[in-house]
Amino acid sequence: MEYSSTPAAPADGSPELGERLRKVRERAGLSQRELARRAGVPNSSVSNIEQGRVSPSVDMLSRLLAALPMSLAHFFSDSLSGPDFFDLSEANPDTLCGPGIELRQFAPGQDSGECVARWMPSVLVLVLEGELRLSLGQTVRTLSAGQGARLWPGTAYRCLNASAEPARLLLIHPG
């Protein structure tokens, strides 16, 4: 009888679905344990799904996504790929057009506090003037005029104007 030291791939899990859940969870800045707590499911369930050992029921996946928050349709859409940060020179002009454009100003030292993006499918943040320190999950970048970022639904974020000058930014909700 032959034995292998390499475990066989699970027959009933979905590695692609598990990897997608992991990416969404990490973008939201949540640990497996925190996502499980928010969704009211065992931590082992999140771990097993992300590792492709099991496929979640629609109910289980809906509970996990509601804790982010994110819809099933957005979870399975192709819009989860792409860069989170960009420079205006690299931005596709088509993504900067849409019905929802909001202008915000951050005074020197102003801090948004910890927030969670709830826009669907996502929102673009574009710094027009000044500098803004933007935290997306555990990634922190200082953005200056012409730079921006995409905030995915369920992403934990924080904006801070650490400079002595006001910062103006646009929130662009793709239509």
Domains in the chain with CATH codes: 15-79 (1.10.260.40), 82-173 (2.60.120.10)
78-137 pLDDT, tens digit each: 556 555 655 555 554 444 444 567 778 899 999 988 887 776 667 778 888 899 999 887
- Percentage of the residues of the chain whose pLDDT score is greater than 70: 73
Cβ–Cβ < 8 Å for 129, 161: no
Sheet holding 167-173, edge to edge: 85-87, 147-151, 123-129, 167-173, 100-106
Asked if pLDDT for residue 159 goes beyond 80, the answer is yes
50-87 pLDDT, tens digit each: 998 988 888 888 888 888 777 676 677 655 655 565 55
Question: What pLDDT score was predicted for residue 96?
Answer: 46
